[in-house]
Amino acid sequence: MARPLKALQMPNLGESIKDFAWRQITESGASSLSLRKIARELGITAPAIYNYFSDRDALVTALIIDAYASFGDCQHEAKASFPDPGQEVERLRATGIAYRQWALQYPHRYLLIFGSPVPGYVPPMQELLPVMMRSLGALTGVIAELHAGGRLDAHGIPPPVAEPGHRLFTLMGSADPGMLSVYSVAMLIWSRVHGIVSLEVTGQLPPFAEDGEALYRFELDSICRQFIRPSVAVPDATGFFRNR
């Protein structure tokens, strides 16, 4: 037999391959992903997969893109849960909480994105940049809104080096150079959130600190304390907007 009748074929084989790949990753980790094993479970031969993915790396890239989509959806949903003006702080906290929840709910997706799990795989940044920017866009969006509302404290933050036309401007949705340090704030917050969550997900926190949730909530609190001014029209003893 060379090719089965269409009636016997599996519909959407491309999606099925990804499904089985995810199942395999979830069961035994991303490192043990095997085209042959996927084919075996799908009842086809291994080279047939090459009709849908030119490479094993192409499959991994497709999985990463899906993971980023799931992650980005989660981030944007969390952000949209506090849509009203004046809810910027709650919006920021919600995206932060959602970050950790998503990572704990889908540790393998998280590790596929932020770890380096698959043997010889090198991520094609050019292809991944759009989905990376979209998911990061939830955070940068919140920060930009805080900035617009005059509640962002970005003093002393080193702005990234970027000439006009740089992708950072398109990410921020603005060509205002003053937005660049706003963007640096997003990177700093991202790195803090990522730091504690990555340690927790990879199991490097548990040997030392058992209660990841408490640590994480403290970290979110101190992030808010550092980068957010108290609400407008609440001057302190020394002056306006001077909470440091």
Catalog residues that contact DNA under the rule CB under 7 A: 1-7, 9-10, 13, 33-37, 39, 44-48, 50-52, 55-57
User: Binding partner of residue 242 among a second copy, DNA, none, CB under 5 to 8 Å per kind?
Assistant: none
Q: Which is nearer to DNA, 36 or 242 (CB)?
A: 36
Per rule CB under 8 A, is residue 5 in the interface with a second copy? no
CA neighbours closer than 13 Å in the CB half-sphere of residue 127: 12
What φ, ψ does residue 175 adopt, rounded to 5°? -100, 15
What is d(CA 97, CA 148) in angstroms, rounded to the nearest whole number?
23
CA 235/CA 35 separation, integer angstroms: 63
Q: Which stretch binds a second copy (CB under 8 A): 7-15, 27-35, 60-68, 92-100?
A: 27-35
Q: Which of 88, 110, 108 is nearest to 99 (CA)?
A: 110
Hey, which residues between 105 and 134 contact a second copy (CB under 8 A)? 111, 114-121, 125, 129, 132
Closest CA to 61 of 173, 40, 238, 52: 52
Q: What six digits make up the tokens of 58?
A: 């192409």
Pick what 201 binds: DNA, a second copy, none; C-beta below 5 to 8 Å, kind-dependent: none
The verdict on 63 binding a second copy (CB under 8 A) reads no
Rounded to an integer, what distance in angstroms lies between the CA atom of residue 75 and that of residue 114? 16
Nearer to a second copy, 55 or 221 (CB): 221
Residue 10 or 175: the one with the smaller Cβ distance to a second copy is 175
Contact status, residue 146 vs residue 88, Cβ threshold 8 Å:
yes
Q: Which does 134 bind (CB under 5 to 8 A by kind): a second copy, DNA, none?
A: none
Cα 190 from Cα 179, distance rounded (Å): 17
Rg of the chain, C-alpha, whole Å: 22
181/155 Cα distance (integer angstroms) = 9
Query: In the complex, what is the shortest distance from the CB of residue 179 to DNA, in angstroms, rounded to a whole number?
Result: 41
Shortest approach of DNA to residue 26 CB, angstroms? Answer: 16
Q: Which is nearer to a second copy, 5 or 191 (CB)?
A: 191
Residue 69 interacts with which of a second copy, DNA, none, CB < 5 to 8 Å by class: none
Beta bridge partners of 228: 152
Site membership for a second copy, residue 195 (CB under 8 A): yes
| SS3 of residue 1 by DSSP | coil
Summarize as ranges the residues that interact with a second copy (CB under 8 A).
29, 31-32, 111, 114-121, 125, 129, 132, 136, 156-158, 160-162, 167-168, 171, 183-184, 187-188, 190-196, 198-199, 202-205, 207-211, 214-215, 217-219, 221-222, 226
